[in-house]
Amino acid sequence: MRIAVLGGGSWGTALAIHAARLHDDVALWVRGEDKAQQLEAERENARYLPGLAFPEDLRVSAAPEIIEGRDLILVAVPSGAFRETLRWVSPQIASDQVVAWATKGLETATGAWLHEIAEQELGPEHPPALVSGPSFAAEVAQEQPTALSVASSDEGHMDCLVEALHGRSLRLYRNPDVIGVELGGALKNVLAVATGIADGAGFGANARAALMTRGLAEIQRFGEAVGARPETLTGLSGLGDMILTCTDNQSRNRRLGRLLGQGLDLARARAEVGQSVEGVETARVAVARAQALDVEMPICAEVHAVLYQGRPVHDTVRRLLERDPAREAG
């Protein structure tokens, strides 16, 4: 296969490295000619994945022509750059090219799902297709065993993603539930901020387990409101991704939460993490959408209050614990 991965961050670089181990014509597109030349010269992404050498068959470019004739164009940029990237790529793609994404989150300006943005920017002739699930970029690049979901309303697009990425250390599972896979990948970031806050404040393993379990209930309520399949939300791109992101400090969202729990303000915490933290913006958008859908999401709401209203961490925990008793189901 001929594959182009768009996005020179940790995730895009890791996917490009993995794909280039499976195929002999893989390109990584990055923004800026200087950056492309640097990556080509050094043959590694020293900022995001230091020490992980590029395969011989991986080439790096900032030229738009890099996507011409590619069987698969895989977008792996932060959610805030997703629409801009699709808008840039749209005039250049042919009808027989598959465009998919490995981006997680919601559009911060509008609250739109990524598949809604894709339909608006690419048109109905390009069905939505994505890859998501429990995965840290460095471990994928290091060929640590990983399992992910590929989702699309089109079987051919799922087949294309499987052919492009399935192999060696990476196993893929097909799932036609696009909205469910997107939802799990977006909302787990907010819960990772929550568990990070609790751990940073020293609240212990009991609190972490409670936040994860009740956080999953919030995702399931939200999923029911938007038509996601329940089994998706207890699968790789739901529960699996949530466990990974909430419990391991490779997660940028969890690390940011820990810094907040230790007393840093949001600006200092973001600077300390030094990379995009999707859960910060997703918390704002998710709470707004939940309110519009009349879905109760108290944990996400409290994370939002810490991030945007300056609510002290201990007040947040107290508010959650002092909620009225309720049945566990639902």
- Write out the catalytic residue numbers: 188
Dist. CA 126–CA 144, nearest whole Å: 32
Q: CA distances (Å), 139 to each of 10, 11, 52, 131, 291, in order?
A: 11, 10, 11, 16, 37
Cβ-defined contacts of 39-42 (< 8 Å, 24+)? 39/8
Tokens coding 285: 């958008």
Alpha helices by DSSP H, 49-177:
82-89, 114-122, 137-141, 155-165
Contact 130, 101 (CB under 8 A): yes
Contact 192, 253 (CB under 8 A): yes
Tokens coding 137: 């970029």
Number of helices and strands (H, E) in the chain?
15, 8
Dist. CA 267–CA 275, nearest whole Å: 12
First to last CA, the chain: 45
